[in-house]
Structure 1
Amino acid sequence: MPSIAIAVGDVTYLIWTVARDIGLNITKADLGDVEIDGTKPPQVAQDDNTYIEWSSIPGLTAHKLSGGGFNFTTAPATHTYTMVINEPATATAGDLATLTIQTLDNGQPLGHQVITISANGVEADHDYTDATTGSYVW
């Protein structure tokens, strides 16, 4: 499980999903290359995760804890989650038809979401959507 925060020198960085989860528009989410509304905040990549400098996340407030560290808060965000089946493929009877599923939050791609596909109550596949596009092909 990734750390929620890391310190580099005197600067605290939060995992990029914090910005996504509070409702900010993540326009790019590649390792070490995350953009919020098209702007790349200060960030570091560590252990296959990207961390963003906390002060560059709009609406986030840090509260210093007496024992050290911080508690971060933000106003509640409204999310409208949807799942779209894009361009269902056709196939010859007996052949497999490719199915593309995309997860969205407020109409924007929402990557790295768990997808479980079941047939007649039996799990047929379990994986994650693409981190950038929110898509999954089955």
Structure 2
Amino acid sequence: MLHPGCKAPDFTLPDKDGNLVSLSDFRGKKVVLYFYPRDNTPGCTRQACAFADAYDAFLQGGVAVIGVSKDSTASHQKFAQKHQLPFLLLSDPSLTAIQAYDVWQEKKLYGKVSMGVVRTTYVIDENGTIEHVIPKAKPDINAAEILSYLDLK
């Protein structure tokens, strides 16, 4: 897991419409970068909807919100439309950013061990440095935790 003070690894990934987006595009702006396992699953949907509900506060604070999973752009497009998600969803099927941010890890579910994305949220400052990390983020409170950390309401 990357920690506060580390330089945030840059990446370029397609958004839900296939447009390429780089982390470096957001220099000069704070970024909430959250990694989640899969579109349209209960926890990921609750987490995304909580970020959507809080989106105006993030916008007013000048903070960009970016969600990343290994789902396809088509999956992201359906997910964003279905839940009216106003922020960027980036597709990382090759695990470029997912591995760079060390969120591709061994997971255990009902005794079965597999590799997958561990739900993690990073706050990246205006200079591209990680300033805050929430490992194993809880979907129901993640957006509120970030709003509180950034002192946005």
| Category of TM-score, reference length = shorter chain | under 0.3
Q: Which has the larger radius of gyration?
A: 1
- TM-score using structure 2 length: 0.23
Q: Which has the higher contact order (CA 8 A, sep 6+)?
A: 2
- TM-score using structure 1 length: 0.24
